[in-house]
A and B are shown apart, each in its own frame.
Chain A
Amino acid sequence: MTIAPTVSGGLKLLPEEEQDWLVLFKIADDADGDLARHFAGLMDEDSMWEEIVVPELDHEFSAQRKKIMKAVFEARDGAEEGLVIERKDAEDWYGALNQARLLLEEKYRFGSREPRDPNEIKDSEMRSAYFRNDFYGTVQSLLLEYVMVD
C-alpha cells in the first residue's frame, strides 16, 4: 500500500494488492466493539453516563465506522485508483481508526507506544492484528501531519 498527501490537502491510499484492500475492510471489524460503555466505566453512577451519554457515543462511533466503510467500498468499486481521504472526512477516518486501535489494544494488550518485534508474537491472529494496528497508527499519524492541520 502506498500512502501519499494530495495537493488538495487530503491523503491518498493506494492499495497495490488484494491484501491491502482486506486490511481496509478490516477496519470496521476491528472497530466494532463496546467502546462507549468502556468510557462509561470511568464515570460514577450518579453521572447517568450509561443512560444518557452511552447511546450518543454509540451512535457517533457507529456513524464513523459506516462512513469510512462506505468510502472503502466505493473506492474499491469505483473508476478512480485508490482512495482519497479528504480534509472534511479526516476526523471520521481518524476516529474510526482510533476505535479499531483502542479495541485491538483491549483485546491483545500490545501495550505501549514502543515498537515491538512481531516475530516474537507466535499467535498468527495476534500477529496479524499487530500489523493492522501498526498500519492504522501510521495512517493516523499521516492524517495528523498532512490533513488535520489548522
Chain B
Amino acid sequence: MKAVEAPVKKSETRSREKTDKPWQVVVLDDPVNLMEYVSRVLIRVFGFSKEKADVLMMAVHERGRAIVWSGGREKGEMYVNQLHSAQLNATLEKAE
C-alpha cells in the first residue's frame, strides 16, 4: 500500500512569499543636504553607479521623495539606519 503523503507546506510558503509586498527605502527631500552629498551617500550605501545615484538624487530633489531600494524589512532597516547616520531623511514603507 502506498503511504499517504503529507500536505506540502512548501508551496504555500512560496505562494505567500510571492504575494507579500516588499518594503521600500524612501529618501525624502530636505533643503539642507547638498545634492552632490546625497549622490555620494547613495553610492556608498547601495553601491549604485554615479549615474544611477544622480538620477535618484534628482528625483528626490524634484519630486520630494524617491524609492531607492525595495526588499525585505530587515535589510531595509539596515539601509535606513545608514542613511540616517549620513543625516539624510529616509524612511521604510510597505509597497502599495
| Residues of A in contact with B (beta carbons under 8 Å apart) | 35-36, 39, 42-44, 47, 53, 56-57, 60, 94-95, 98-99, 101-102, 105, 110-113, 137, 140-141, 144, 148
Contacts and interface: CB of A to CB of B under 8 A. Distances in A.
A141 B22 CA distance: 36
> A-B pairs with the 4 shortest C-beta distances?
A39-B84, A42-B91, A101-B32, A98-B87
B31 A105 contact: yes
A34 B31 CA distance: 18
Nearest to A36: B84
Describe A's contact surface by its main secondary structure. Answer: helix
Contact of A144 (B36, B80, B90): B36
Interface residues of B, number: 19
Given A57-B84, A98-B87, A111 B31 contact: yes
A105 B29 CA distance: 13
A120 B95 CA distance: 44
A137 B34 CA distance: 8
Contacts of B89: 39, 42
19 contacts: A36-B84, A39-B84, A39-B89, A39-B90, A42-B28, A42-B90, A43-B91, A47-B77, A47-B92, A53-B84, A56-B81, A57-B85, A60-B85, A102-B32, A111-B31, A140-B37, A141-B34, A144-B36, A144-B37
B91 A110 contact: no
Interface of B: 28, 30-34, 36-37, 40, 77, 80-81, 84-85, 87, 89-92
B87 A35 contact: yes
Nearest to B93: A44
Contacts of A44: 92
A24 to B, nearest CB: 19
A129 to B, nearest CB: 13
B23 to A, nearest CB: 10
Nearest to A101: B32
A99 B87 contact: yes
B87 A53 contact: no
Given A47-B92, A53-B81, A140 B34 contact: yes
